[in-house]
Amino acid sequence: MVKQSIASLVILLSAALASAQQGGAGGDHFAQWPDGKSPKQIGDRVAKRFVESPHQNFGRVGRPDRISYPEVCAWWGGLTFAKVTKDDELKAALVKRFEPLLGPVKVGTDHPHANARGMLDDRHMVPAPDHVDHTVFAAVPLELYMQTQDKKYLELGQMMADYQWSTEPEYEWPFKHPALEKYFPNRVTEESKEYIKRGLTWQTRMWIDDMFMITAAQAQAYRATGDRKYIDRAAKEMVVYLDELQKENGLFYHAPDVPFFWGRGDGWMAVGMAELLRSLPEDNKDRPRIVKGYKLMMESLLKYQDENGMWHQLIDDPKGSWPETSCTGMFTCAFIVGVKNGWLDEKTYGPAARKAWLALTTYLEPNGDIREVCQGTNKKNDRQYYLDRQRITGDMHGQAPMLWCATALLREPDRASKPGG
């Protein structure tokens, strides 16, 4: 009898251990990971790769003339990962990368872009806030301010966030590019002025990418300052995009005139909503509408996840298009944030998020580069255009979501209560 009881106990303990290793212990799908697959291990590799990488130029040869938005996204991801892991060495390296953007720093004459005195001055590489893809840069200095309390970062980031909602968006950018007298030629159109009248940003263009780019800048300004105007106006903008662009199945065309559910385009929308809801106050009047749109999208995405855990270049065509890592990373992040904050059912979305994360890790090279990333993509009303996009290794469109996922898996929930709706 005693032997039988001991044997039963061993079986129960073994089952519990197996459940924990699968992430199911206590309903927590994010606790136990196979060796080499944990968010800390993966995040360390991807962050290290970012630190050692030069400024990227969308796959083109040569140095860019400004910091690109994919690099911004990876930089921000590295900073949030450093914060959640308390990695001061990583944080210091990410701060050091920013220094030449604020003025001359000594880097040595062996640096490929230094002058004869070994000084590097990259102020011209700070993108002017004349477009959503440029204004998102604000997320990085605002994160640096929150982590260092150095007000020079706050000044730059807040200036960019404010300019995005300026009612008179025409002035000369103080960070001058040597080849241009002004950074804002022909950006403010008659359509822009109509958006201003509606209380929206003049940078509104009704592309789904915008709902990450705008949200990141404004949410970061709210987190850094506590001023609700930033998060409230981002929420108002989000509702307009939801009302005008979300389809009945919860997904989004790349643009109103491009009827394709492009993976990364929808990825920007998914992670943009999740990122906004992380900090949007419960009493914001637009929150229920955003929660509704977010949940509808998550339900649809769940149906299109393939058997390996991935999503594809064209979401609704998993057989005809290829598994793509940047959109998978973005959808995974949106799932993780939703599960952790209680917006999504843990038993349903927890396993899906875990499966997606483990799938993503199989695409990671030893040096920290992720494979199968769709190249930077403009809109085009041509299905084959999306299917024929280059599949790149190490592009920061894909590196960034890996860091976002690692941070989300390690970060504590952002609020104790569940959102309305």
Q: What is the pLDDT of residues 31-44, one digit of tens each?
A: 899 999 999 999 99
Phi-psi region of 313 (alpha: psi -120 to 50; beta: other; left: phi over 0): alpha
Per-residue pLDDT, 22? 37
Choice among 128-132, 273-277, 297-301 with the minimum mean pLDDT? 128-132
Among residues of the chain, what percentage have pLDDT more than 90?
75
Tokens of 2: 């005693």
Q: In whole angstroms, give the CA distance from residue 61 to residue 84.
A: 35
196 alpha carbon, distance to own chain's centre: 26
Whether residue 335 contacts residue 349, with contact meaning beta carbons closer than 8 Å, is answered with: yes
Per-residue pLDDT, 184? 52
Q: Is 10 exposed, middle or buried (0-12, 13-18, 19+ CB in 10 A)?
A: exposed
Q: Which domains does the chain have, with CATH numbers?
A: 23-410 (1.50.10.10)
Choice among 5-14, 306-315, 339-348 with the minimum mean pLDDT? 5-14
pLDDT range class, residue 388, cuts 50, 70, 90? very high
Residue with the bigger pLDDT between 377 and 117: it is 377
Number of H helices, E strands in the chain: 16, 4
Q: Above 80 in pLDDT, residue 259?
A: yes
Phi, psi of 105 (to 5 degrees): -135, 150
Tokens of 275: 């990122």
Q: What is the pLDDT of residues 9-26, one digit of tens each?
A: 444 444 444 333 333 322
Return the closest-CA partner of residue 45 out of 407, 393, 366. Answer: 366
Strand, coil or helix: 72 = helix
| Count of CB atoms situated within 10 Å of the CB of 224 | 22
Q: In whole angstroms, give the CA distance from residue 385 to residue 376.
A: 12
**DSSP notation for 38-55:** SHHHHHHHHHHHHHHSPP
Q: What DSSP character marks residue 99?
A: G
Phi, psi of 258 (to 5 degrees): -130, 90
Separation in Å, CA 421 to CA 159, 290, 335, 377, 418: 34, 9, 17, 34, 9
Return the closest-CA partner of residue 252 out of 294, 204, 218, 203. Answer: 294
